[in-house]
């Protein structure tokens, strides 16, 4: 998608270097960063220079390419794979991508290993783009239905950033929106600010602006009253891990939006590629929920009047804070799962049928 009119992907590989857009600096600074070692990749995932489930998976895949360039040794590769998987605990795409890479690379001692790794990491990216585009076309049908009934702007609420910046291109939750916009359907997005990292304000609103899509940032607690007032036609969110029973783990606050949507008969959709489905875990209580540094809550970052990035403390300095990064939305609150293969009910039977 575009930034200042120029097409970008979120990650690419050039001259043995992984190139990323540093998302910790957006929207105020657009910086392309070089990742040279597997340690750089692990750090980029941890500090969220790259974030969003599909993108951290793809970045980890390239992390293994860098590991091979650094030290073409099977035990180094294995250790790097473990460290990459542990860099963030919740999004299943990370493990999915590393496992997929290791299936191709384990035990390969020939000179061909680098080429194999590069091809597989590239394939993970290309596949994600293809899947996100299909998610868009499938989700478009729902937006079209609402528009055909309403004959007026379709108001869509989203939480966090499940946009192209969270994937390689298109995004998951935003892909139906981009497709609707391209088709001339008037859409307007309510972007939840998404405290504490403000992915909704800093990333979703930013990327929608760059594509010319109308959007309004709202505080995380505003969605409820907007739904009561009939100002939300549908919600679409992304997910970091969806269990085969349809329970959805996503950015903290998603659950509260789903409850409000349920109470107000607003359809609540979750958009995801199949790489986000966890077929193994049976109970949502077993999903590891990331707890991040409380400094992300107690401090805010922005630019001052001289356009310099500043970080300031906003809490009483003696106060404790707790920063859980994700929550679980039970399947019963999910209207449907928009996948690359079509729209599924949030249930084991329906998902199994689609992904036989
Ligand atoms: O902590 P983040 O910014 O990595 O969290 C991202 C989300 O919660 C997204 O909704 C999810 O990864 C889906 S991205 C298509």
CATH assignment at residue 71: 1.20.120.420
H helices present in the chain, as ranges: 38-46, 53-70, 74-85, 92-105, 113-150, 175-182, 199, 205-210, 223-228, 254-263, 295-298, 348-354
- C-alpha atoms less than 13 angstroms from C-alpha of 252 in its C-beta half-sphere: 14
CA distance 117 to 63: 10
**What would the mean pLDDT of 148-164 be, rounded to a whole number?**
98
Strand pairing category for 154-158 and 187-192: parallel
Residue 291 sits in the same domain as residue 187? yes
Let me know: does 251 contact 235? Beta carbons within 8 Å.
no
Residue 91 sits in the same domain as residue 169? no
**What would the mean pLDDT of 228-248 be, rounded to a whole number?**
98
Is the confidence at residue 265, as pLDDT, over 90? yes
Residue 116 sits in the same domain as residue 143? no
**Any idea of the CA torsion for 297, 303, 305, 311, to the nearest 10 degrees?**
40
Residue 109 sits in the same domain as residue 140? no
Mean pLDDT score across all residues of the chain: 98
The pLDDT, as a whole number, for residue 110 is 86
Nearest C-alpha to atom 15 of ligand 1 is from which residue?
A: 162
Query: Please, which pLDDT band fits residue 168 given cuts at 50, 70 and 90?
Result: very high
- Exactly one of 233, 240, 247, 327 is catalytic; name it: 240
**What would the mean pLDDT of 213-234 be, rounded to a whole number?**
98
**What would the mean pLDDT of 10-34 be, rounded to a whole number?**
97
Query: Which atom in ligand 1 lies closest to the alpha carbon of residue 250?
Result: 8
DSSP annotation of 291 reads B
**What would the mean pLDDT of 311-319 be, rounded to a whole number?**
97
Neighbour tally for 279: CB within 10 Å: 13
Q: Is the minimum distance from the CB of 162 to ligand 1 under 6 angstroms? A: yes
If you search the block for the tokens 């729209």, which residue do you land on? 343
Is the confidence at residue 54, as pLDDT, over 90? yes
Number of domains the chain contains: 2
Of 126, 215, 121, nearest to 170 (Cα)? Answer: 126
* Cα 185 to ligand 1 centroid, rounded to whole Å: 26
Q: Is the minimum distance from the CB of 54 to ligand 1 under 6 angstroms? A: yes
Query: Which atom in ligand 1 lies closest to the alpha carbon of residue 173?
Result: 15
Residue 312 sits in the same domain as residue 215? yes
- Domain-terminating residue out of 127, 151, 168: 127
The pLDDT, as a whole number, for residue 346 is 98
Residue 6 sits in the same domain as residue 24? yes
Range of the domain at 153: 136-354
Residue 150 sits in the same domain as residue 123? no
Residue 335 sits in the same domain as residue 192? yes
The pLDDT, as a whole number, for residue 266 is 99
Q: Please give the structure tokens belonging to residue 139.
A: 């989700």
Query: Which atom in ligand 1 lies closest to the alpha carbon of residue 51?
Result: 4
- Domain-terminating residue out of 127, 153, 175: 127
Let me know: does 166 contact 272? Beta carbons within 8 Å.
no
Let me know: does 115 contact 142? Beta carbons within 8 Å.
no
DSSP annotation of 107 reads T
Candidate from 24, 46, 91, 338 with most ligand 1 atoms within 8 A of CB, to mutate: 91
Query: Which atom in ligand 1 lies closest to the alpha carbon of residue 290?
Result: 1
Candidate from 157, 166, 271 with most ligand 1 atoms within 8 A of CB, to mutate: 166
Residue 145 sits in the same domain as residue 69? no
Q: Is the minimum distance from the CB of 89 to ligand 1 under 6 angstroms? A: no
Residue 27 sits in the same domain as residue 100? yes
The CATH code of the domain that includes 187 is 3.40.50.10470
DSSP annotation of 324 reads B
240 is known as an active-site residue: yes
Is the confidence at residue 155, as pLDDT, over 90? yes
* Cα 166 to ligand 1 centroid, rounded to whole Å: 6
- Domain-terminating residue out of 109, 127, 145: 127
Q: Is the minimum distance from the CB of 242 to ligand 1 under 6 angstroms? A: no
The pLDDT, as a whole number, for residue 356 is 85
Residue 121 sits in the same domain as residue 217? no
Give the pTM: 0.98
Candidate from 251, 289, 293 with most ligand 1 atoms within 8 A of CB, to mutate: 251
Q: Is the minimum distance from the CB of 172 to ligand 1 under 6 angstroms? A: yes
Nearest C-alpha to atom 6 of ligand 1 is from which residue?
A: 52
**Most distant pair of Cα atoms in the chain: their distance:** 64
CA distance 76 to 6: 38
Residue 58 sits in the same domain as residue 140? no
Q: Is the minimum distance from the CB of 251 to ligand 1 under 6 angstroms? A: yes
The pLDDT, as a whole number, for residue 63 is 98
Nearest C-alpha to atom 10 of ligand 1 is from which residue?
A: 238
Q: Is the minimum distance from the CB of 271 to ligand 1 under 6 angstroms? A: no
- For 140-152, letters b (16+ CB in 10 Å) and e give bebbbebbeeeee
């Amino acid at each position: 998608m575009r930034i200042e009119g120029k097409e970008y992907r979120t990650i690419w590989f050039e001259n043995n270097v992984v190139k990323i857009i540093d998302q910790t600096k957006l929207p105020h600074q657009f910086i392309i960063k070089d990742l040279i070692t597997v340690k750089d990749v692990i750090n980029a995932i941890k500090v969220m220079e790259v974030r969003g489930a599909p993108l951290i998976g793809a970045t980890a895949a390239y992390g293994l390419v860098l590991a091979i360039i650094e030290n073409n040794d099977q035990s180094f590769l294995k250790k790097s794979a473990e460290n990459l998987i542990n860099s963030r605990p919740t999004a299943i795409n990370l493990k999915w991508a590393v496992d997929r890479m290791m299936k191709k690379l384990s035990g390969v001692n020939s000179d061909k290993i680098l080429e194999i790794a590069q091809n597989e990491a590239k394939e993970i990216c290309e596949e994600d783009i293809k899947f996100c585009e299909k998610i868009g076309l499938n989700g478009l049908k729902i937006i079209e239905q609402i528009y055909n009934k309403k004959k007026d702007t379709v108001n869509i609420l989203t939480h966090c950033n499940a946009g192209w910046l969270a994937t390689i291109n298109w995004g998951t939750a935003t892909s139906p929106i981009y497709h609707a916009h391209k088709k001339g359907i008037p859409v307007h997005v309510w972007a939840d600010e998404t405290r504490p990292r403000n992915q909704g304000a800093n990333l979703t609103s930013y990327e929608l602006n760059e594509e010319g899509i109308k959007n309004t940032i709202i505080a995380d607690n505003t969605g409820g009253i907007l739904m009561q007032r009939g100002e939300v036609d549908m919600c679409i969110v992304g997910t970091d891990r969806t269990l085969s029973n349809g329970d959805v783990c996503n950015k903290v606050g998603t659950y509260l939006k789903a409850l409000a949507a349920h109470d107000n008969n607003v359809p609540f959709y979750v958009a995801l590629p199949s790489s986000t489905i966890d077929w193994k875990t049976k109970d949502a209580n077993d999903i590891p929920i990331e707890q991040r540094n409380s400094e992300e809550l107690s401090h805010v970052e922005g630019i001052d009047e001289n356009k310099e990035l500043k970080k300031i403390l906003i809490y009483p300095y003696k106060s404790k804070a707790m920063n859980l990064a994700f929550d679980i939305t039970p399947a019963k609150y999910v209207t449907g799962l928009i996948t690359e293969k079509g729209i599924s009910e949030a249930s084991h039977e329906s998902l199994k049928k689609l992904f036989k």
